[in-house]
Amino acid sequence: MTDHEPLIHIARRDGLVWWRAWCIRLIGAALALLASALFIYSITKLNPVKVYAAMWEGAFGSARRAWITARDASILLCIGVGLAPAFMMRFWNVGAEGQVLMGGCATAAVLIYLGRTLPTAQLLTLSVIVSLVAGAVWGLIPALFKARWNTNETLFTLMMNYIAIQITCFLVAIWENPKGSNSVGIINQQTQAGWLPALFGKQYLLNVIIVLTIAVVMYLYLKYTKHGYEISVVGESENTARYAGISVRRVIIRTMVLSGAVCGLSGFIAVAGSSHTISTATAGGRGFTAIIVAWMAKFNTFVMILIALLLVFLEKGAIQIASQFNLNDYASDVVTGIILFFLLGSEFFIQYTVRFRSHAHKTQEVEA
């Protein structure tokens, strides 16, 4: 009668030692690089090894390039760190794009309207505050509805992105400089008022330090504080949370305010510390990419550093090969997509074991 067992038996693994899990991920990544190489070769007939070398060149080839890579990776990381608490609570905040833009707009507003009247220290303080608040509000709105009416947060936060994008376009039109350019231009280009200052002569060092600090603090917050503990419990089981006397609603709202605020702060860093202008490119899809960063890292902020670096490396590298080999820099998105597909797929082999029927039989016989 056992012939009627299903052919393939899939069972959840009871935890895999961390190094084996990482081995599986590495195999996934290696396969992904292979697939990407095949893809690059098939459309360009270029030697993929050379292409990868060129990508390395593009991302880390010079001190300047390395700094730009670090700058962009740190913004991506910052957004990912912002998403971590929401995801740990199993709240699908796909609204980072909008939260970043709102933070960026708030910062730009401070820089534009008060740039002549306040000293940089005060400008920066004020910018930080307003960007935190703007991002927090953008995170709070869907959270309120989720907590009260269980409104689907994935769809709600997704829609909030586009409202933020249109608000940004609206502000760009108001602030455009020079008139008719449809862009804000570099804000306070002469005075550099409200810009994050260079540290030890390195323009982006402060960005990196700020973001790494946030990452460490977030790691500690999630792991060691009472709030972080509550977030884990709510994310695991609302029933257990109620049993332990945790107010699920309050945790949802508080956590989304935090998540939105950190994403808003990423907008501040992008504007005051990086581009010194505001447009929809301030977020430029990074709010979405960061979702993948946070998810792949299983909410561990240190793993996020690696993944953020990997993705930015791919992007910068692809831009390099685009110019070097006369390709188009969208190749980076293709390679990113392929790598992420493989990494997503490899998680299955970490979570589950697959046994075929014949194999199952053998083990039964052995046990018998």
Partner 1 sequence: MAEEFAVRMVNITKTFGHVTANDKVYLELHRGEILSLLGENGSGKTTLMNMLSGIYFPDSGQIYINGREVTISSPHDAYRLGIGMVHQHFKLVDVLTAAENIALGLPGGLVVDRKAIGARVREICDRYGFSVDPDKKVYDMSVSEKQTLEIVKTLYRGADILILDEPTAVLTPQETETLFAVMRNMRADGKSIIIITHKLNEVLEISDRVTVLRKGEYIGDMDTAKADARALTDMMVGRTVTLNIQRDLPVDPQRRLEIRNLTVKDADGVVRLDDINLDVYAGEILGVAGVSGCGQKELLEAIAGLQPAVSGSSIKYRPTGRSGPAEELLGLGPRAVSDRGIRLAFVPEDRLGMGLVASMNIAGNMMLKEYRAGKSPLVERRHPYDMARNIVRELEVVTPSIETPVRQLSGGNVQKVLVGREIAMHPTVLMSAYAVRGLDINTSYTIYRLLNEQKKAGVAVIYVGEDLDVLLQLCDRIAVLCGGRLSDIVDGRTATKEQVGYLMTNMGKEASA
Partner 2 sequence: MTQLISLLTSAIVFGTVILYGALGEIITEKSGNLNLGVPGIMYLGGIAGIATAFFYEMYAAEPIGAVGLILSFLAAFLASALGGLVYAFLTITLRANQNVTGLTLTIFGAGLANLFGGSLNALAGGVGQISVAVTSRAYRAYSHTLAGLGWVGQLLFSFGFMAYLAIVVALLASWFLNRSRVGLNLRAVGEDPATADAAGINVTLYKYLATCVGAGISGMGGLYYAMDYIKGTWSTDGTIEALGWLAVALVIFATWKPARAIWSAYLFGVLYWAYNYIAGLSRATIELFKMLPYVVTILVLVAVSMRHSREAQPPRSLGLSYFREER
Residues 46-85 that bind partner 2 (CB under 8 A): none
Q: Which of 204, 219, 268, 295 binds partner 2 (CB under 8 A)?
A: 295
Helix (H, G, I), strand (E, B) or coil at 72: helix
Contact between 4 and partner 1 by CB under 8 A: the answer reads yes
Task: Give the Cα separation of 76 and 283 in Å (integer).
Answer: 9
Residue 61, φ and ψ in degrees, nearest 5: -60, -30
Helix (H, G, I), strand (E, B) or coil at 353: strand
Q: Which residue has the tokens 């909410």?
A: 299
Residues 317-346 that bind partner 2 (CB under 8 A): 326-328, 330-338, 340-341, 344-345
Partner whose footprint covers residue 240, from partner 2, partner 1, none (CB < 5 to 8 Å by kind): partner 1
Contact between 34 and partner 2 by CB under 8 A: the answer reads no
Contact between 166 and partner 2 by CB under 8 A: the answer reads yes
Build a one-symbol-per-residue string for 228-257: x at contacts with partner 1 by CB under 8 A, - elsewhere. xxx-xx--xx-xx-xxxxxx----------
Partner whose footprint covers residue 189, from partner 2, partner 1, none (CB < 5 to 8 Å by kind): none
Q: Which is nearer to partner 2, 221 or 349 (CB)?
A: 349
Q: How far is the CB of 269 from partner 2 (least distance, A)?
A: 22
Build a one-symbol-per-residue string for 168-207: x at contacts with partner 2 by CB under 8 A, - elsewhere. -xxxxxx-------x-------------------------
CB 222 within 8 A of CB 88: yes
Nearest to 255 by CA among 150, 136, 134, 106: 136
Task: Give the Cα separation of 277 and 334 in Å (integer).
Answer: 28
Residues 116-145 that bind partner 2 (CB under 8 A): 145
Q: How far is the CB of 176 from partner 2 (least distance, A)?
A: 8
Nearest to 196 by CA among 181, 211, 182, 183: 211
Nearest to 91 by CA among 270, 275, 234, 285: 234
The interface region with partner 2, picked from 64-72, 159-167, 188-196, 229-237 by CB under 8 A, is 159-167
CB atoms within 10 A of CB 202: 14
Retrieve residue 22's tokens: 């990482």
Residue 13, φ and ψ in degrees, nearest 5: -75, 145
Q: Sort residue 299 into left (φ over 0), alpha (ψ -120 to 50) or beta.
A: left
Contact between 10 and partner 2 by CB under 8 A: the answer reads yes
Q: Which is nearer to partner 2, 64 or 179 (CB)?
A: 179
Which residues on neighbouring strands pair with residue 10, listed in sequence order?
354
Q: How many residues of this chain bind partner 2 (CB under 8 A)?
A: 56
Residues 6-45 that bind partner 1 (CB under 8 A): 14-15
Contact between 60 and partner 1 by CB under 8 A: the answer reads no
Contact between 323 and partner 1 by CB under 8 A: the answer reads no
Rg of the chain over Cα atoms, rounded to whole angstroms, equals 23
Task: Give the Cα separation of 100 and 19 in Å (integer).
Answer: 35
Q: How far is the CB of 16 from partner 1 (least distance, A)?
A: 11
Cα dihedral sign, 211-275-278-165: negative
What are the residues binding partner 2 (CB under 8 A)?
Answer: 10-12, 43, 92, 94, 145, 149-152, 154-156, 158-163, 166-167, 169-174, 182, 285, 288-289, 291-292, 295-296, 326-328, 330-338, 340-341, 344-345, 347-348, 351-352
